[in-house]
Each structure stands twice: as structure tokens, then as C-alpha cells.
Amino acid sequence: MELHFEEVITTRQRLQELSGQPSQRASNKIIDHVDDICSRFIAASPFLLVASRGPDGRLDVSPKGDPPGFVAVLDEKTLAIPDRPGNHRFDTFANVTECADVALIFMVPGHGDTLRVAGKGRVIRDTALQARLAVAGKSPSFVLLVAVEEAFMHCSKCMTRSKIWDAEGWPDRSKVPSLAEAIVAHAKPPETIAEVQAYIARHDQKLY
């Protein structure tokens, strides 16, 4: 069924006709490197989202998490993001081998502001760097290097509205589907939800 709407906005000009021009502060906050402010934010961040583009043009956004500061700032133009054991799909890393464009959002728990970074990625193996990024004595098999092209801090309004760090504002999660439910419904394996959940629980214990 095709949906119909009063207006479909197709240009930046029309967006700004309706919403107004950005302030000078917003327009001029983008830098082309990682400075001390960005480095301090990255050092405190245990979680980020990585956007990449596949060979079919479809975008993917993948979460990455580890102890705070797990992303290394190699220099003002280069970030190193370690790979960790997962489902072996390698969505982000495989995409980067086809298209280098990546974008990142760094988050710090309890902190409203976020850090956005965009640039070009490469998947590399380097013994010394992999050892530097080791956690619990385990080195990553691969490292995503990001050549930074732009970086800027983003305001906290979305965090404030969502109350993501405010436990009193969290929704009832009793009816939120689990990964096991989704796998059974979508992948249709022969196992039951309980069996898939048991497998996930065992797998999740192997963090590195």
C-alpha cells in the first residue's frame, strides 16, 4: 500500500525555509581532526555506533563496546577501533573493504552530549597495534582505522528527551522481544526459543 502525505520535502532549502538557518555556533563547530576535546571524550567512551555502506549501497549501523577508552587515538587524524568476537558476519568490516566511508557516534554513560566523527576506514592487521588494543589478554583479530575528516560535539537534547540515562524514565521492558525470539521468528532455526537463549547466554560469556 502506497502512503500519501501532504508534503514530501526534497531539498535542504525547503528544510531551512521551514525551520530557519543554523546559528553560527552550530555551523562553525566542525573540525577536521581529533583535538584534545575529542580525545578526552573518546577516552571516556565505552560505546559507539559505526555507520558504513555496503556494496549494494545500503547503510548499516553497528554498535561497538568495550572498557572506556577502547578506541585509540593514534594521532590527530587517525582512530583505531578493535574488533571483538561476535557472530562472524563482519558487517562493518566487510563493508569498509568495499566502501571506505564511515561515520561514528561516541557516547559516555550518564553524559548527554555525544561526539560525531566521519571519515574513511581501512581494515588492518598489525601485531603491535593489536597488542596495544588487547583486553583481558586477548588481542583483536582486526582493527578498523578511521582517517578523520570531520568531528564535532552534538548537543544533549535527544538524550534529555529520551531520558536514556534516567532509570525512572525507562519504559516497561516486559514485552520487549529478545534476540532469541527474533532469531526463531526470522531465521527459523530448528531450536526452540529456550534453546537459542541458552546458546546466546553461553556465547555472551565469551567476551574476548
What does the block give as the cell for 191? Answer: 531450536
Task: Give this prediction's pTM.
Answer: 0.91
All domains of the chain in start order, with CATH: 23-162 (2.30.110.10), 171-204 (no CATH)
Interstrand relation of 101-107 and 47-53 (parallel, antiparallel or unpaired): antiparallel
Judge whether 47 and 170 are in contact, CB under 8 Å.
no
Say what the pLDDT of residue 192 is.
94
% of the chain residues with pLDDT over 70: 100
Residues 47/109, Cβ–Cβ less than 8 Å: yes
Cα–Cα distance between 1 and 97 in angstroms, integer? 37
pLDDT of 88 reads 75
| Digit-coded pLDDT (tens) for 159-193 | 999 999 999 999 999 999 999 999 999 999 999 99
**Residue 129 CA: distances (Å) to CA of 75, 85, 145:** 13, 17, 11
Query: How far does Cα 133 stand from its chain's mean position?
Result: 18
Residue segments in the chain with a per-residue pLDDT below the cut of 50: none
